[in-house]
Amino acid sequence: MAATHHFDVNTLFSMKGHVCVVTGGGTGIGLMAAQALSANGAKVYITGRRVEALENAAKTHHPNEKGGSIIPIGPCDVTKKSDLQSLVEDLQKKEKYINLLFCNAGVGGPKAEPEHDNADDLKKKLWDNESVEEWNSTYSTDVTSVYFTTVAFLPLLQAGIEPNGPLPRFGASVITTSSMSGLMRHAQGHFSYNAAKAATVHLTKLMSAEFQRTWIRVNSIAPGYFPSEMTDKNNASNDKQKSELPQEKIEATGHVPAMRGGTEEEMGMTVLYLAKNQYVNGQIIAVDGGVLNVVGS
């Protein structure tokens, strides 16, 4: 039975001794996750395609005195099985197991607003501004890579569970980054992205159900508007690998009840919750400021 001191936040959300891997960890939500995990004691490996971004993120954002660390590894293009296999092999040389895999790498895809009432005009807008290749690339990065990244790391994740590792059953977990966009009917001009994120949502549920026999949990965070290279007006990060989310962008949508974007700390809270709560499995946690309350889902 739990004594009151067991509910201390430093006990509930301590990541000391945990080994984590974050894809797309050099910027945006991936970096927020790496900061939250390492600040609470975890050793966090961040990977992605841009080595310079990874190295700068690790150098710039030092965890506090709780003993965590952010370590760049890669490069890795998660759409390539050969890169994923090399990443796993590199990790196996350094670690006997991992406790958390955060499949966060993703792209935004093409944009074409379905704003016309006339079918001929609507066809032209969508037909001319999107390509099959762009659709396939979006799906490959946002969905297919999530599946193969998870599959590649299953043995390392299972190795972190008792009796082989420090955590009890269901102690190892996968978090995917989906999106509120995969839960709504409004296309936002991003048909390919929204469709891909909807597929990520369902893939998360499939993997959760099918992989639970390995005692590995799979959950997803469905973010709303958070600062990232996707939401930054310049589509870029600053010298600390951070991005801006202009307030006017939030106001222009007209559908964010919170009237602001999400904070990096709020994303970190969600990551820690899913990483530590071993009784949560197969869930899609929307962190969207109430958008799905007012936009059809």
Q: Is 220 a catalytic residue?
A: no
**Beta sheet of 19-23, edge-to-edge order:** 69-72, 43-47, 19-23, 100-103, 172-177, 216-223, 284-287
Which one of the listed residues 197, 220, 228, 242 is annotated catalytic?
A: 197
Q: Is 197 a catalytic residue?
A: yes
Residue 178's nearest CA partner among 94, 95, 285, 92 is 285
Which one of the listed residues 192, 193, 208, 243 is annotated catalytic?
A: 193
Q: Is 193 a catalytic residue?
A: yes
Residues 6 or more apart whose CB falls under 8 angstroms from that of 135 comprise 109, 110, 192
Which one of the listed residues 178, 179, 192, 237 is annotated catalytic?
A: 178
| Residues known to be catalytic | 178, 193, 197
